[in-house]
């Protein structure tokens, strides 16, 4: 197998595993947020702020992984 094929497979793994992990992380975070909001409704404002920050960090990790995969693909295929 050529280097181009290996890089294409690696980029696919980076993006797909990042997407699956981000979806799983958002799901776990939302479940814990709703559990905590149901237990103590008076702190929903603080929980909501923390949940949005955490969701942004989870999505940022996926977007960074996608950028790295695009960088690998561009550097390999544009030579």
Q: What confidence category does residue 12 fall into, taking pLDDT thresholds of 50, 70 and 90?
A: very high
Write out pLDDT tens, residues 45-69: 999 999 999 999 999 999 999 999 9
Superfamily of domain 3-77: F1F0 ATP synthase subunit C (1.20.20.10)
Two tokens, residue 12:
């696919």
Q: What is the DSSP string of 15-69?
A: HHHHHHHHHHHHHHHHHHHHHHHHH-GGGHHHHHHHHHHHHHHHHHHHHHHHHHH
Handedness of CA 27, 33, 38, 44 (dihedral sign): negative
The full set of domain ranges for the chain reads: 3-77
What is the tens place of the pLDDT at every residue in 18-50?
999 999 999 999 999 999 999 999 999 999 999
């Amino acid at each position: 197998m050529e280097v181009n094929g290996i890089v294409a497979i690696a980029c696919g793994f980076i993006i797909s595993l990042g997407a699956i992990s981000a979806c799983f992380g958002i799901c776990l975070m939302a479940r814990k947020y709703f559990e905590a909001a149901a237990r103590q409704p008076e702190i929903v404002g603080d929980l909501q702020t923390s949940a949005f920050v955490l969701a942004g960090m989870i999505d940022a990790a996926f977007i960074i992984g996608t950028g790295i995969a695009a960088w690998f693909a561009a550097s390999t295929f544009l030579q």
